[in-house]
Structure formats: structure tokens, C-alpha cells
Amino acid sequence: MTGSVLGHGDLADRIEDLTTRIESTPDDARLYQRRADLHRQHGDFDRALADLDRATALQPEWEDEPYARGRILLDARRWSEACDVLDEVCAARPEFVPGRLARARARAGAGREDAAAEYAFVASHAQGLTPDFFIEWADAMPTVAQSDAILQRGVEALGPLVTLTSRLSHPVVQNVSQGQVTTQPRVDPAVLPAGHRMESVRLVRGPYLQMVTPDSIVVRWRTDIASPSYVAYRSTSEDRRRWVESRELTTEHSVRLMDLDPSMTYEYFIGTGRQRLTQWQQSYRFTTSPPHGSSVPRRLWIIGDSGTADGNAAAVRDAYLTHTTGNPADLWLMLGDNAYNDGTDEQYQRAVFEMYPEILRSTPLFSTMGNHDGYTADSATQTGPYYEIFTLPTQGEAGGVASGTEAYYSFDYANIHFICLDSYETDRAPDSPMLTWLKRDLAEATGDWIIAFWHHPAYTKGSHDSDQEYRLIEMREYAVPILEAGGVDLMLSGHSHSYERSYLVDGHYGNSTTFAPEHMGVDLGSGRPLAHGPYVKPNPMRTGREGSVSVVAGSSGKKSGGSLDHPMMFISMNELGSLIMDVHGPLLEVSFLDDHGAVRDTFTIIKGIGSCPGDIDGDGTVGGGDLSMVVDAWAMGGTGRTDVSRDGITDGLDVQIILANWGEVCSGGG
């Protein structure tokens, strides 16, 4: 984390780091200045002032010292002292808006009538005012009528936000989402719960992004003090800012943004109480899902058993960030065991929120529950840290059939239909509610690709054995046949702390000794375009029994070995890493990236491709010469272009697919 977006754990780590640096460089005033600000954010105001005194002694000419001191006194609620110091700041720098705003807050805290005039000055000079600013200004006015006038000014500037309109003397508040209109009396700030008037609220978790759809997304975060919530957002192609807010006092903030545009990138900031918690920054942005069924290229990051909160997980994370610089994932999946050892809230804080802060605030996340997450959670009642932390679709909000539970669910993303199952706690019997729902969901799915994910793998010889453990056996015997009949393309799991990847197979439901390659191996090659060729599923429509690939990716936090000799697997390795998946139209490519940034395995599935060049060169055969002419036509912009990818455009992807598919589909290929 950077800037002001720091939880208490992060602040303590930063303070400790600065303390170590000060011990080795005790005469560097800048280090004391930085530590003073961190102490202020941490609420240790005496230490902050002591550091400020030391910095001033080392650097007497530091011109920002009075403002820094005023902010500390302001946060410490030492109103009179803050006013005196900030008066000096404003006298020396009368046009310095942050100083004037700080003085306005100090004067309001001290109950001084001249606070209102100070807020008026800030309003005429500052940009990007928030609802909280207008509330502060209104509270500083001496009469209700004057306060209402300021609130109405805020409504005119920002729109009819509940935070503003509900405080008017006779407001009419419209609940747009429910279509209801209610009248509420003005809320007197004097009767707000203790600690909510001028107290500084700190961000201790997030923000993080949940349940993205083509027209909505959920933004979540946690604060140390219960307070209202708001999210301000705007698309990167326009300047118009929009707001969504909640007046509920909570430490667990969850705001759903709606009426968004598909495939649109938005930047945002969050606020709570009367302060911003983040700023407009490059890393605080998200992109909505493409329209359902669209074939635009999408990238996913997939991690399993990542919850170790240690150097292993950090190395896997950093390898992903380096590898995807300039082309990050649009979506990411967690395959369970997200927080060791018991999935407690504190363990989630370390293993997820302090491990992936930048990724969480820009990339929507979906998860399945592992056994370690389940030690403190209950699927039947949907309680415990796992269910309290994640917001997952239960009513078909993101596509798919409503499951009524966050334990298992489905969602659509572009031309992919994702299915999440609970392999730990929910009943897995053939006639169970989960598998009954699964059959219906598959029957109604419309995506070109079906990708299913859960924690306990149906096939593994890693740190767990799918021949021996009942959860793994039940998933293989009961869930996999339904998925294969429904046209599943890829099945993802964790649990075993290794990487294992199968051939393209169909119909293997027994233990490992019953795998019959001649009957169950749809394609026993590598799936690599430059070796044996990609896996090809010839039917352009989603059809069952064309085979699927199973991947165990449970080594994003630890590797634990095993015999790694399941006969259905093309490759198995005891290495740390994660998966990167790229989908573009009928082409799906998955790579296993290890913790050092090396791609250790890759495979490609191509679906519904039967397009090949004819006898273009007139030699009586379809062969390498024809392929060369097609490639040359692409390079020169000539004829012979075909929209093989079915994405509505003819581009380099189409020739890539022809090249990859040549040996599988085209007779005489070279």
C-alpha cells in the first residue's frame, strides 16, 4: 500500500522500517517528517509531535512544519491549539487551500462562528468537493435556514444524494433502486452517535472489488470506526463524476455501483463519514465485464492455496505482476485455502488484504471455499469470515441460474460461463441441491466456454490422493459426469500443493488405475501449438463429450510434493506458481507461471475451427504452400482473410488460429 491508504498493520510496519533507518541515519530530518505523519495516521499524536520537533531542530527552515503540526493537533482534537497554529499557516500562505480547510475544521471543532466563512473560501477555490465537505460547512452555519442553503448548494453541485437531502429541514428522499419515496427529518449532527462528528476514520482493509457484471460492480472496504459510505466514480473517457452512498453506520462498507457501461474503465475513490479515504489514482480503477457472449480478449489470474501470508505467496504474486506488466488480468479466481490455517478474519487480513492490496482494488475477484477457509465458516448458514468477506452472486445477478447461496454459484464473463462448486461442506450426492442446480445451470448456459472451479481436485497424486479421499472421489464420481455431459472445457482445483495438468480427456470417473487412454483420451498430445498442436474441439457449438482439461493449481503459497504420477496428467511438477489464462473468441490458452517468472507449462484449446485455406497455389493439394500464401496475404493486406475467430473482425488472431490449427484440421499441413 502507498500514500494514506494504510491499515494499522501496514502503518506499524512502515513505522518500524523508518525507525530502523533513523537509527542508522539519525540526522536525516526527512525521516522524522515521514514518521511523524505515520504516527499521526496511527493515532499516536504525542510521538508524532515529538518527531516533528526533532525534524524542526534538524531543519529549521522547513516551511511545511506549521501545517504538519496543525494537522496533528487537528486529528488530536486539540481545537484551540490547532486554530492558533493554522492561523499562522493561513497568514503566511493565504491562498493555500489545504491550510484553509484544516483551519475551517479546527474552528468548527472549537465551535467558532467564523468557521462558516472559512468553508466558503475553500468552496470558491477547491476542486472536487465531496458531500462531506458540504455537510461540514452546513454544520458550521449558525441557523438551520443557512445550513439548509449550504446543503442545497451541495445538491446542486453533486446531485440529490441521500447524505445531503436527508439533512434538509423538509427533504424528499428518493430510493432509486427500490422505487420508493420517503420523507425524513433533518438529522441534527449533535445527536449523531458519539465519535462520529469530527473523528478521523481510518481505512484498515481494501478497497476490493466484487461481483462485476457488464453494468455493475460491488466496492467493499473496512474502517476502524462505524460510519457512512460513499463511492465517487467516473469513466476514464469523461469528466462527469457520479456518486453512490449509504447512510448506514458500519465498519464493513459495501457499495454497489449500477447503470455502468459494459467494457468501460472507471476510476473511483471511496469516502466515509466526512473524509476521503483514497484519491483519484491510476491504481484505483476497474473495468466492467464485456457484454455476455462477446469475444473480446480477456485475461484471468488464478491462484490456489495461496493463504500462507509469507515469502512464497509474495514471490508468486510478484512473478505475476512482472510477467503481466502492461497487460494485467481482467479478473481473478481464488481456488480455496485463501487464509491459513483456519480462515480467520485476522488470517485473511494478512494472507489476502495485506498480500494483494493493489490487485484487489483494480481487479474483480471470485473465490471458492477450501477446507482451511471452512474451519471457521459454515456453508449451510453462510456465516463465518469467508462468507462475511466475499460478495458472491446468489440470485443470478452476474448471469447463470440463481443458486440461492454463496457456497456455489455461477456467472458469465464475456463468452465464458463460470461455475463455482463447494467441494468441502455442501452435499455432493447426485440428487443434492447443488448438483440438481448444476444440471439446470449447464442446461441454460449460453457461453462458448464452460469453466468450473472448486477446491478438492477430482484427479491428483500430489500432497493429496484422489484415489483415497472421499471429497475428491465424490467430486469425480458425481460432479464431473454432469460437467462433461454439459460441455465443460476446463476444470480448476487446488488442495494438492503442486501443479498437475491433464490431457484432453472424457469419461474417467474411477480411480487412477482405471484410466484407459485409448477410450478416455480425446487428445493425448501436449496441447501446445508448436509441439503436438493445440487441443481441438471441432464443434463450434458447446457440446458434451468432446473432452476437457483438468488442472490442479494449489501451489500459490506452498509446495508439498507427492508421487505426482497420475496417468491422466500430461505434466506434474512440485513447483510454486499460478495460472494465467487468455481467452479470445474460440481460443483458450493457459500457462503455469512459476515463482521465478518462468512459464513452465502452456496449453491451448481451440473450439469450432474448421477453416483452412484451399488449394490457393494451384498445385493440386492443400499444403504448406497454401498456408504460406495465406500468411503472406495477411502481411501484405491482400485477399484470403477469414474471420476464423468469429469475433467480428479479421486480425492477427485469425492467422494465429490457422497456424496453430493447421496440423490438426487441414490435410497436408506442414
Q: Which of 111, 109, 110, 136 is nearest to 122 (CA)?
A: 136
Question: For residue range 31-72, what is the model confidence (pLDDT) as tens digits?
Answer: 999 899 899 988 899 999 999 999 999 999 888 899 999 999
Contact between 506 and 572 (Cβ < 8 Å) = no
Residue range(s) defining the domain that contains residue 561: 298-607
Cell of 239: 469528466
* pLDDT at 138 (0 to 100): 85
* pLDDT at 367 (0 to 100): 98
Q: Read off the pTM.
A: 0.71
Residues 597 and 470 in one domain: yes
Q: Which of 560, 594, 596 is nearest to 580 (CA)?
A: 594
* pLDDT at 669 (0 to 100): 39
Task: Kindly report whether the peptide bond that precedes residue 185 is cis, defined as omega within 30 degrees of 0.
Answer: no
Q: How many CA atoms lie within 13 A of 106 on its CB side?
A: 27
- The average pLDDT across 387-412 equals 97
Cell of 594: 512459476
Residues 308 and 404 in one domain: yes
% of residues, the chain, pLDDT over 70 = 83
Dihedral angle sign, alpha carbons of residues 93, 99, 104, 106: negative
Residues 383 and 246 in one domain: no
Residues 494 and 596 in one domain: yes
Q: Which of 352, 547, 335, 569 is nearest to 450 (CA)?
A: 547
What is the band of 665 on the pLDDT scale with cuts at 50, 70, 90? very low
Query: How far apart are the C-alpha atoms of 644 and 634, rounded to whole Å?
Result: 13
Burial class from Cβ neighbours inside 10 Å (0-12, 13-18, 19+) for residue 291 reads: middle
Domain-located, residue 238: yes
Residues 473 and 533 in one domain: yes
Burial class from Cβ neighbours inside 10 Å (0-12, 13-18, 19+) for residue 618 reads: exposed
Residues 316 and 381 in one domain: yes
Question: For residue range 549-605, what is the model confidence (pLDDT) as tens digits?
Answer: 999 999 999 999 999 999 999 999 999 999 999 998 888 999 999 999 999 999 999
In this predicted structure, the answer to whether residue 634 has a pLDDT above a threshold of 50 is: no
Domain-located, residue 35: yes
What is the band of 145 on the pLDDT scale with cuts at 50, 70, 90? confident
Domain-located, residue 195: no
- The average pLDDT across 488-493 equals 98
- The average pLDDT across 373-388 equals 96
Lowest mean pLDDT of 92-96, 187-191, 378-382, name the range: 187-191
% of residues, the chain, pLDDT over 90 = 61
Q: Which residues contact 178 (CB under 8 A, 6 or more apart)?
A: none
Question: For residue range 448-490, what is the model confidence (pLDDT) as tens digits?
Answer: 999 999 999 999 999 999 999 999 999 999 999 999 999 999 9
* pLDDT at 183 (0 to 100): 32
Domain-located, residue 182: no
* pLDDT at 174 (0 to 100): 34
Q: Which residues contact 190 (CB under 8 A, 6 or more apart)?
A: none
Q: Which of 164, 222, 225 is nearest to 198 (CA)?
A: 225
Question: For residue range 235-267, what is the model confidence (pLDDT) as tens digits?
Answer: 988 767 788 888 888 999 999 999 999 999 999
Q: Domain with 258 in it: what CATH number?
A: 2.60.40.10
Q: Which residues contact 505 (CB under 8 A, 6 or more apart)?
A: 520, 521, 522, 547, 548, 549, 550, 568
What is the band of 407 on the pLDDT scale with cuts at 50, 70, 90? very high
Question: For residue range 329-369, what is the model confidence (pLDDT) as tens digits?
Answer: 999 999 999 999 999 999 999 999 999 999 999 999 999 99
Beta strands at 504-505 and 521-523: parallel, antiparallel or unpaired: antiparallel
Residues 89 and 154 in one domain: yes
Domain final position from 143, 160, 177: 160
Placement of cell 483452412 in the chain:
612
Which range, 10-24, 81-95, 108-122, is most confident? 81-95
What is the band of 197 on the pLDDT scale with cuts at 50, 70, 90? very low
Q: How many CA atoms lie within 13 A of 93 on its CB side?
A: 16
Total domains, the chain: 4
Domain-located, residue 70: yes
Domain-located, residue 186: no
Placement of cell 463450434 in the chain:
540
What is the band of 655 on the pLDDT scale with cuts at 50, 70, 90? low
Q: Domain with 17 in it: what CATH number?
A: 1.25.40.10
* pLDDT at 635 (0 to 100): 47
What is the band of 130 on the pLDDT scale with cuts at 50, 70, 90? confident
Can you state the angle between helices 45-58 and 65-75, rounded to 10 degrees?
170
Residues 457 and 363 in one domain: yes
Q: Which has more pLDDT, 644 or 231?
A: 231
Residues 88 and 225 in one domain: no
3-state DSSP call for residue 336? coil
Placement of cell 517468472 in the chain:
597
Domain-located, residue 664: yes
Domain final position from 586, 607, 628: 607
In this predicted structure, the answer to whether residue 193 has a pLDDT above a threshold of 60 is: no
Domain final position from 607, 635, 657: 607
Query: How far apart are the C-alpha atoms of 111 and 380, rounded to whole Å?
Result: 52
Domain-located, residue 532: yes
Residues 378 and 491 in one domain: yes
Residues 554 and 501 in one domain: yes
* DSSP H or E stretch at residue 139: helix 131-139
Q: Domain with 386 in it: what CATH number?
A: 3.60.21.10
- The average pLDDT across 487-507 equals 98
Query: How far apart are the C-alpha atoms of 416 and 366, rounded to whole Å?
Result: 14
Going by the DSSP 8-state scheme, the letter that residue 493 receives in this structure is: E
Contact between 340 and 372 (Cβ < 8 Å) = yes
* pLDDT at 632 (0 to 100): 54
Residues 629 and 644 in one domain: yes
Q: How many CA atoms lie within 13 A of 593 on its CB side?
A: 22
